[in-house]
Amino acid sequence: MNIFSKQRSQIHTIIALRYSAIFIQLILIFFVSQGLSYQLPIVPLITIISLELIFTAVCAWYYRKAIRVSKSALLVQVLADVLFLSLLLYFSGGATNAFVSLLLIPIAIAAVILPLWMLTITALLAVVSYSLMLWLMPMHVMHGNMQGHFIGMWVNFLFSTIVVALVVARLGRSINEKELAIAKYREKQLKQEKLIALGIASAQVTHQLATPLATAQLLVDELSEQVEKNSIVNDLKAQLKRCGDSLHEFRQQTFEIKSQVAKPLAIDKIIEQLQEYVQLNFPEIQLIVIQDNIDPISTQQKFIIADGALLPAIFNLIHNGIRASESNKSKQLELSFVVKDRHWQLNIRDFGLGFSAQKLTKLGVELIDSEQGLGMAVFLSHASLERLGGKLTLTNHTSGGALVSLRLPLASPINVDTNRVELLNE
């Protein structure tokens, strides 16, 4: 059933099978009429096969470069098989034809590749076709006990149709679900391997930077003693302190992630720390904070369970938004948040040029090249939020710029002790 794994290959497979069926039909007609000397209506049969061949050739040409095929197109192919096969059976004995059970083949194919309602249409068409052939049989054929025999064949066909539709459909869906689960697991495994590689690289770089930063700090301290009240030296000293603080925070985050330490974090405190981050690191940026239909008093009583990687993940997203705004000669960044359906959603809107269609499909899912360095930051932020049960969504804002939305579940009241809340970075 692996040939039905993709809709594009499915329709090509059906067309190839119909070509094979046409070849077999011609051989059978020649063998029965010439080898067994049966009287067959050659003209109607050849006419039907010719129409079937033309239909198949047109479909093969039409779908030769198709990237994706709809389920409706597959349904048309299966119904065409039922129709052509029914016509061939009607002109070669109808319900008395030994090959009448071939009508089960389109039903089996539909059970694998089509949804339930399309499968039902296919099965009903096949049953109606068989019933009409039985109804239109000449009366002289119904001699003796043959009437009961043909009715029994009809009941057998109806029962076989139900069994094939139910059993094959169930097996096909089970196999498809397993294949999707395996594909999802492989994708997750590849993502984890990338995260591990990035984690190892980050740890190595952090370890290598510790000694040069300590040396630079000593040199700046000596320089500040020799050159007092120098703004450049003070700025350099402040930047080195930020680097040292970042290294310390990285070590702390590594310990918390390794120990799987998760703490309740109040939503209002998150917003405060985000505002402080922007004010301290990007004082030229005008930060717009919007509360969407939320009571500020009740917000203080709402928490999320987070570890040390949450705030850096949000900081990365904010940093990217600021760089995108600055690239478009804007000094604005908008934060909006809302608590709804036991989830907290934070929206970060920049005033840049927005995401391209290609980046929207890959950002956060895999590492991509970017002039602004968005690939790795969004990838790591997406992984951090996923680990906390959150979700990251990237879109373009209707009024321009990019819109990044992260959604995290609220902590259960039994997991939050408001008297013992430990806040990150405190």
Between 24 and 250, residue with greater pLDDT: 24
Torsion of CA 96, 102, 103, 107, to 10 degrees: 160
Interval 251-266 mean pLDDT = 68
The CATH superfamily holding the domain 263-415 is: Histidine kinase-like ATPase, C-terminal domain (3.30.565.10)
Element counts in the chain: helices (H) and strands (E): 12, 7
Determine which of 111-120, 275-284, 354-363 has the lowest per-residue pLDDT on average: 354-363
pLDDT in tens, 190-217: 666 665 665 666 666 666 777 787 788 7
| Calpha distance 416→51 (Å, rounded) | 72
Residue 5 pLDDT more than 60?
no
CB 346 within 8 A of CB 290: no
Domain extents in the chain: 2-187, 192-259, 263-415
pLDDT of residue 124: 93
Q: What is the pLDDT of residue 420?
A: 43
Q: What pLDDT does 203 receive?
A: 63
Least Cα distance to 332 among 282, 378, 404 occurs for 282
DSSP string covering 263-325: EEEEHHHHHHHHHHHHHHH-TTSEEEEEE-S--HHHHTT-EEEE-TTHHHHHHHHHHHHHHHH
Is 3's pLDDT higher than 70? Answer: no
- State the chain's mean pLDDT as an integer: 77
Q: By percentage, how much of the chain surpasses pLDDT 90?
A: 9
**What per-residue confidence (pLDDT) applies to 54?**
94
What pLDDT, in 10s, does the model give residues 383-410?
777 777 788 888 888 888 888 888 888 8
pLDDT at 424: 38
- In this predicted structure, the answer to whether residue 296 has a pLDDT above a threshold of 70 is no
- C-alpha distances in Å from residue 83, one per residue of 62, 161, 320: 20, 16, 59
pLDDT at 191: 64
Per-residue pLDDT of 362-381, as tens digits, reads: 565 555 555 554 456 676 77
Q: Give the integer Cα–Cα distance in Å for 376 and 380.
A: 6
| 419 band by pLDDT with thresholds 50, 70 and 90 | very low
297 pLDDT above the threshold of 50: no
What is the tens place of the pLDDT at every residue in 45-73? 999 999 999 999 999 998 887 777 888 88
Phi, psi at 340, each rounded to 5°:
-155, 135
Check whether 141 has a pLDDT greater than 60.
Answer: no
pLDDT of residue 342: 83
Residues 260 and 319: beta-carbon distance below 8 Å: no
Task: Give 41 or 362, the one with higher predicted confidence.
Answer: 41
pLDDT of residue 169: 82
3-state secondary structure 173-242: HHHHHHHHHHHHHHHHHHHHHHHHHHHHHHHHHHHHHHHHHHHHHHHHHHHHHHCCCCHHHHHHHHHHHH
Phi-psi region of 50 (alpha: psi -120 to 50; beta: other; left: phi over 0): alpha
- Confidence class of residue 187 from pLDDT cuts 50, 70 and 90? confident
Contact indicator for 1, 112 with CB cutoff of 8 Å:
yes
| pLDDT value at residue 399 | 83
- The better pLDDT of the pair 162, 421 is held by 162
Question: Is the pLDDT score of 299 beyond 70?
Answer: no
The residue to which tokens 């790795």 are assigned: 376
